[in-house]
Amino acid sequence: MFTNLKYLKLKKVILPILLFIVVASAIPVLYLRENNPDASKPANGVLDLSEWTFVNEKPSLAGEWEFYWGNLYTYSELQASDAAPKQIVYVPKTWDAYEQDGKKLPGLGYATYKLKIIVRDAEQSLSLRLNNIATAYRLFANDIELATNGTVGTERQSTVPGYQSRTITFKPPSKEFSLILQVSNFSYARGGVWYDIGIGTPEQMDNLDRMNIYKDAILIGSLLIMAMHYTGFYSVMRKDRSSRYLMLLCMIFIVRISLFGDSFIVRLFPDLSFEFLVFLTYVDMYWIPVVLFLMIASLYPKNIPPFASKAVVIYGIAESLITAILPMQIYTKFSPVITVIGSMLVCWLIIIAVGAYMRAEKGALLVLVTLVGILATIVHDSLYHSSIIHNSFGELMSVGIFLLLCVCSFISARRFADAYERANQLTFHLGEALKKEKEATDELVKTEMAFLKAQIKPHFLYNSLSVITALSTKNPQRTKSLLYDLSDYLRGSFHFENYDGMTPIESELSTVRAYLSIEKVRFQGKLNVEYDIDESIAIPVPLLTIQPLVENAIRHGIMKRSESGTVRISVQRGEACTVISVHDDGEGIPDWKLSEIFGEPASTTGVGLKNIQRRLILYYGQGLEIQSLECQGTRVTMRIPD
């Protein structure tokens, strides 16, 4: 027995280590994949594309360029004999990593890059993908200017930094031409070409641009939806701090994704200054590990010292204030230190997740795997920003954080599902006690009534009380009205005094009106209700048959729409019967699902309908009629014979 326990503990320790090794090994795989040794690359300042097939090979401008420090040469000036001696350097790399006369170059200054390119056909258009270059540049093909960003100058006063990524398309001036790149930097700590300059056909670059735009748009859209979800959730459940941190993390990464890649924020706000954009980038970078730490700490607080969360927040505030005070060229020097601190915080979180996993806490393994993945993406992004790894898809940490947010959403949903299950179990036991009090009643009817009692959803009661609480200080009169509505709803839902399972239609409609009154306040303009009721009709109907149909129309019809919808309730006389119908203009029911609603096994969305169907057949020999069209709505009808 002791040996088995020891083996299980050892297994739990080994698994996280194996996960770290597997995920971390993805980095060299990505590196090898992106750095294809067979691809054409610049060598000694020349890139030979004369054999480039445009299909099978992906050339790269990452390689050896000519470099002229302290000069802003044009093509004609470089052709002259009095040009400064060339220096061969590797691009991309910040120029403070280069040496001249045995000394490292400073981060501030200006220089010219040159790359001779040989193509097979000068009529074939080429496209270049230019990411941010620190911090102003002009690009030429021979003497033809192709692109500019900011204003290139030889001193601080004449240089204006720029912040923008772009793709340009041009026709080579000849089969042999030179790319001349003038760069100046008097703002950032490190100047030069930060990232690889992509090259390809216009179609290839267009596909790459679309891929990056789609990736960023999908991430931003998904994060925005999640942020809105967590904001709403936190507004009604303040004690759940994890939802607050999840919302903040979503917003932080929306900003980060907007700053990198295609720079959506620059497209939306082109007048934002370079200094503010860099400041925003660094502050965003400070708070990512801080909020991530707070979020994981809220999920698994047992391994967190009481002072840790406060210390992490103080770190984020201090870094932000220092960045706001210091000049850009100073605080940008510390990005490697910030990366190390962020990595250490993530490692701490991994230790916390391992502890939660050892205690067999729910969701801990998923969180652990994702955190290890995030650590791997931090390492990847550090190598990417240091020009050690070159790829076409940029940063990966945003994807890692997005996956973590999805995992945390799953954990939250699982926790509430457990709470819902416990509430259902309590409801079931209460129903069993009620059935014992009805020993004189038919067994099938007793079972159906007990099941109906379970239809009162704990989440509906909770949300109703939350809405009433929120209104209590703002609108006492409306609060009083809602309390009456909730009382009417509960009275109708718990109406089991009549053991034959029937209730007057006016009582059933009173329950429906009370339910809809609360739902309309909850969903604030998204739900519209219309009544078409013949008030002269006074017949008994099976208990809780109309209200579940209305609830089903709202949950599975109206609430799946992005815009508002309408539920129509009709009670009219028909031929030898009373026709009761509930119609919504929601999403509708797919044909395949419509055919399975009354089949077996029971589905979660069909339980209420099956219950009503069984009782209608029991009482009247006929069940529900359902008509539905996808994206147009659903009408559910039942006929009560006279």
DSSP labels for 147-214?
EEESB--SSGGG-B-----EEEEE--SSSEEEEEEEEEESSSSS-EE-S--EEE-HHHHHHHHHHHHH
Amino acid (1-letter code) at residue 277: L
Bridge pairing between strands 63-69 and 87-91: antiparallel
Amino acid 31: pLDDT: 47
Lowest-confidence region among 348-357, 482-491, 543-552, 631-640: 482-491
Contact 244, 234 (CB under 8 A): yes
Amino acid 10: pLDDT: 47
Which of the given ranges, 387-391, 433-437, 484-488, has the highest pLDDT on average? 484-488
Give CA separation, 110 vs 131, 182, 333, in Å.
18, 8, 18
Amino acid 390: pLDDT: 60
- Residue tagged 């969305």 (tokens): 605
251's CB contacts (< 8 A; 6+ apart) are 223, 227
CA distance 399 to 381: 12
Whole-number percent of the chain with pLDDT over 90: 20
pLDDT tens profile 154-186: 999 999 998 888 899 999 999 999 999 999 999
Q: Which of 520, 490, 528, 529 is nearest to 507 (CA)?
A: 490
Contact 187, 129 (CB under 8 A): no
SS3 at position 79: helix
pLDDT exceeds 50 at position 404: yes
Bridge pairing between strands 176-185 and 136-141: antiparallel
Cis peptide before 92 (omega within 30 of 0): yes
Contact 272, 315 (CB under 8 A): no
CA distance 484 to 219: 44
Whole-number percent of the chain with pLDDT over 70: 79
CB neighbourhood size of 635 (10 A): 17
How large is the average pLDDT for residues 85-102?
89
Amino acid 459: pLDDT: 54
Amino acid 15: pLDDT: 54
Phi, psi for 623 (deg, rounded to 5): -110, -150
Q: Which residues of 427-507 form beta strands (DSSP E)?
A: 502-504
How large is the average pLDDT for residues 52-66?
78
Measured torsion, CA atoms of residues 353, 355, 359, 362, in degrees rounded to the nearest 10: -10
- Residue tagged 């001349």 (tokens): 180
SS3 at position 626: strand
Amino acid 29: pLDDT: 47
Give CA separation, 4 vs 118, 359, 545, 553, in Å.
68, 17, 55, 53
pLDDT exceeds 80 at position 483: no
CA distance 418 to 217: 34
Q: What is the CA radius of gyration of the chain?
A: 33
Lowest-confidence region among 42-51, 199-208, 341-350, 441-450: 441-450
How large is the average pLDDT for residues 251-255?
86
Amino acid (1-letter code) at residue 256: R
Tokens of 510: 């009173």
Which of the 8 DSSP states describes residue 43? B
Q: Using H for helix, E for strand and C for coil, what is the string for 293-329? A: HHHHHHHCHHHCCCCHHHHHHHHHHHHHHHHHHCCHH
Contact 80, 146 (CB under 8 A): no
pLDDT exceeds 70 at position 13: no
Burial of residue 559 (number of CB atoms within 10 Å: 0-12, 13-18, 19+): middle
477's CB contacts (< 8 A; 6+ apart) are none
First to last CA, the chain: 71
Which of the 8 DSSP states describes residue 562? S
Lowest-confidence region among 387-391, 555-559, 585-589: 387-391
pLDDT tens profile 116-140: 999 988 888 999 988 888 889 999 9
Contact 347, 16 (CB under 8 A): no
37's CB contacts (< 8 A; 6+ apart) are none
Which of the 8 DSSP states describes residue 475? -
Which of the given ranges, 66-80, 265-279, 463-477, has the highest pLDDT on average? 66-80
Burial of residue 544 (number of CB atoms within 10 Å: 0-12, 13-18, 19+): buried
Q: Which domains, and CATH codes, for the chain?
A: 2-34+205-402 (1.20.1070), 46-200 (2.60.120.260), 437-641 (3.30.565.10)
pLDDT exceeds 70 at position 496: no
Bridge pairing between strands 46-49 and 109-119: parallel
**Across the chain, which distance is largest between two alpha carbons, in Å?**
112
pLDDT exceeds 70 at position 434: no
CB neighbourhood size of 43 (10 A): 11
pLDDT tens profile 603-619: 444 556 777 887 788 78
Q: Using H for helix, E for strand and C for coil, what is the string for 206-255? A: HHHHHHHHHHHHHHHHHHHHHHHHHHHHHHHCCCCHHHHHHHHHHHHHHH
How large is the average pLDDT for residues 608-631?
82
Amino acid 604: pLDDT: 46
**pLDDT: which is higher, 272 or 397:** 272
Give the torsion sign (CA, 249, 254, 260, 265).
negative
Q: Which of 582, 562, 560, 563 is nearest to 572 (CA)?
A: 582
**pLDDT: which is higher, 347 or 142:** 142
Q: pTM score > 0.85 for this model?
A: no
pLDDT tens profile 440-464: 445 555 555 555 555 555 556 666 6
pLDDT exceeds 80 at position 565: yes
Quickly count helices (H) and strands (E) in the chain. 19, 22
- Over the chain, what is the mean pLDDT? 79
Contact 569, 582 (CB under 8 A): yes
pLDDT exceeds 80 at position 290: yes
How sure is the predictor about 427, in pLDDT bands with cuts at 50, 70 and 90? confident
Amino acid (1-letter code) at residue 59: P
Lowest-confidence region among 377-381, 485-489, 518-522: 485-489
How large is the average pLDDT for residues 96-102?
88
**Rounded (10°) angle between helices 2-24 and 335-358:** 150
